[in-house]
Amino acid sequence: MPDNVPDSPTNLEAKPISSTQIDLSWSAPENDTSITGYKVEVKTIDGESYSTVVDNTESMDTVYSHTDLIPEITYIYRVSAINGVGTGDPSNNGLANTLPLDPEDSKNTNTQNDSTTQENTDYDNANTVSFTVPSSPVELKSTPVSQSRIDLSWSAPLDIGSSALLGYKIESKTSNELDYSTLVTNTGTASVNTYSHTGLTAGSTYQYRIFAINSFGQSIPSDVSETTIISNNENQINPQELYSLLPVKVTLSTDKNSYISSDSIEISGIITDSTQNIPLGLRIISSNDAIVYVRSIFANDDNTFKVIIPPAQHQSSVWHDDEFTIEVTHNGRVQTTTTFEICSENIHLETSKSTFNTQLESETDEPQQQSESSSSLLNDFVTTTSNNELDILKSQNVALQSTNQQLQDENNQLKTQVNELNKRIEQLDIILQEQIQVMMETLDVLNYEN
């Protein structure tokens, strides 16, 4: 006694013999010796359901003649194999039209019909209509992505058969299971050749096969693809993801250790492991852990990068007198740091005056002529300081104008990106509507066939 019902017969063909007869032929399920007969079913092209022609042929023959038909009618057939367990799934559909009724047929004797057998056979061959299912999908691949997911990909069949592809059937089983189970009865589209199988068990081996579907049935299965999910403590990572987690060697520096508000802050770096094409992040953090500056950076061809922060960008309240830390990051991980200080111009001026006064006090014990020199030195200091403050104001004005222009440019870029996103959303909405329409049409076809 077999363990399961037999597989589906394949390669069903229907051939019109006369105005009242159609002959069927098919291939038995491969390597199955338990078959005891076949069930033959038929419906007309406008019929909603199949009716049984013969419940069991009680023969292993893979041919059958259906007689007493109506001339010029389209008949659709399917065949199921039978063994001691039961009846298996039906085969692909076979379709044929009975021939037109010849008025002379009713006047001819049986002997006359026999004498024209070859001529009728030639006529029959010329009017046979072939309706076929697709060939099998090809290049099926299964790739483990994590401990609970496998991604499938495949290519369309080389021969789609007598009608357009409607989608794909996907089946799977573990190495411990005897029979395949259906993951997807019909994907509903022929344009998508991928599928993600989730909710899997780490350490298990999974086998997959794919069927192509058109309006006349499904193909024989594709070659089997087998994949084992490795069991470990972390999710599996593909080579690109692994590379993104590697550390980046960066040497970081500033052109000064201390800045005032009118100075540009120049930050430079060198990547020392030839990974200049990867994106890096740069951020500046105050002593109270507030992030005051963030941007993305890319290295030049010589593995170097430079960032210049103009005065107008570091004169807000968050850039107070303080020590700041510069961090270079890769995928959220800090790769290297350095520090600098910012002090106000008033403190800088007081420091200069203090230095001057110290120098002046050291000269009080000198002769009287040194006093005149000191007075001149003080006047020069005041004049130079005023000129410096004017230059600083001019520099700040230029920097503010430059920053304003940058902000306007960035605003225009953001508007362009928003417009592009809106267009993309409209396109995705159209694609979604089309896919829904295809699925509805597919459901109509399936309901029609059933």
Residues 78 and 123 in one domain: yes
Residues 123 and 176 in one domain: no
Answer with the one of 216, 236, 256 that is the final residue of a domain.
236
> Cβ atoms within 10 A of the Cβ of 90, count?
19
CA distances from 227 to 94, 150, 177, 223 (A): 36, 8, 15, 13
**Residue 389 included in any domain:** no
Segment of 225-229, 269-273, 378-382, 401-405 carrying the highest mean pLDDT: 225-229
Could you tell me if 399 and 312 are in contact, meaning their C-beta atoms sit under 8 angstroms apart?
yes
Average predicted confidence (pLDDT) for the chain: 79
pLDDT at 162 over 80: no
Segment of 52-56, 270-274, 347-351, 389-393 carrying the highest mean pLDDT: 52-56
Residues 90 and 181 in one domain: no
Could you tell me if 154 and 210 are in contact, meaning their C-beta atoms sit under 8 angstroms apart?
yes
Residues 123 and 14 in one domain: yes
Residues 223 and 247 in one domain: no
Residues 61 and 86 in one domain: yes
With both helix axes pointing from N to C terminus, report the angle between 345-361 and 368-449 in degrees, rounded to the nearest 10: 160
Residues 54 and 85 in one domain: yes
Segment of 88-97, 213-222, 327-336, 427-436 carrying the highest mean pLDDT: 88-97
pLDDT at 241 over 50: no
pLDDT at 375 over 70: no
Residues 276 and 218 in one domain: no
**Residue 94 included in any domain:** yes
pLDDT band at 54 (very low <50, low <70, confident <90, very high): very high
Residues 95 and 29 in one domain: yes
Answer with the one of 236, 258, 292 that is the final residue of a domain.
236
**Residue 32 included in any domain:** yes
User: The whole model's pTM is what?
Assistant: 0.31
CA distances from 450 to 8, 93, 220, 246 (A): 17, 12, 20, 56
**Residue 155 included in any domain:** yes
Domain containing residue 216: CATH number: 2.60.40.10
**Residue 19 included in any domain:** yes
186: domain range? 138-236
Residues 253 and 226 in one domain: no
Residues 122 and 178 in one domain: no
Answer with the one of 189, 209, 236 that is the final residue of a domain.
236
**Residue 379 included in any domain:** no
**Residue 259 included in any domain:** yes
**Residue 394 included in any domain:** no
Domain containing residue 296: CATH number: 2.60.40.1930
Q: Please state the domain count of the chain.
A: 4
The pLDDT assigned to 448 comes to 73
pLDDT band at 371 (very low <50, low <70, confident <90, very high): low
Residues 225 and 331 in one domain: no
